[in-house]
Amino acid sequence: MLQNQILIGTVMIIVSVVFHVTALVYLANKLNQLTTSTRVTDAIVKTIFYLCVAVLFIVVVHTVEAYGWAAIYYIVGEFTEFQQSLYFSVVTATTLGYGDITVSESWQLLATFEAMGGLILFGVSTAFLFEILRPLFEKKSS
């Protein structure tokens, strides 16, 4: 059972990272296209718009990843209702860890893989958002 958790956890982290990075690269390209094609001239309005688009897109990306992990917990039989599986997945990925719903001892290691991956990917998302904001701060300091 230990090898299954390590294998599933590793595969899920790899899939999540590839999906996440691909989504952020796509978002960056779309934001660059918007920058050149938009008619909005007010820099603050433009920045607010781009940041809102980016945040909402990133929330969707994290939600898709949580659904993926939830599907795994559901498939291996840890939860009888998908809603519980999804709730546990979100609480685990965000490392919030309420503890009101838990997995059995036989699948606890898998949950730690999700927490580890979630922590890293939320950090990547945060760095991405800071990079979007950086030009705004550079303009103010010039």
Which two structure tokens, joined as six digits, stand for 83?
A: 């809603």
The three-class DSSP label of residue 48 is: helix
Nearest CA among 3, 132, 138 for reference residue 58: 132
| CATH code at position 135 | 1.10.287
Low-confidence stretches of the chain (pLDDT < 70) are: 38-42, 136-137, 139-142
5-40 burial: b if 16+ Cβ within 10 Å, else e: beebbeebbeebeeebeebbeebeeebeeeeeeeee
Segment 20-46, tens digit of pLDDT: 999 999 999 998 887 777 666 667 777
- The whole-number pLDDT of residue 25 equals 97
Counting the structural domains of the chain, the total is: 1
Nearest CA among 128, 121, 5, 127 for reference residue 63: 121
Rounded Cα distance, 58 and 121, in Å: 10
Is this structure's pTM higher than 0.75? Answer: yes
Residue by residue, what is the 3-state secondary structure of 81-129?
CHHHHHHHHHHHHCCCCCCCCCCCHHHHHHHHHHHHHHHHHHHHHHHHH
Which two structure tokens, joined as six digits, stand for 42?
A: 């007010």
- The whole-number pLDDT of residue 91 equals 96
Q: Which domain holds residue 92?
A: 2-141
The answer to whether residues 89 and 117 touch, using CB atoms and an 8 Å cutoff, is no
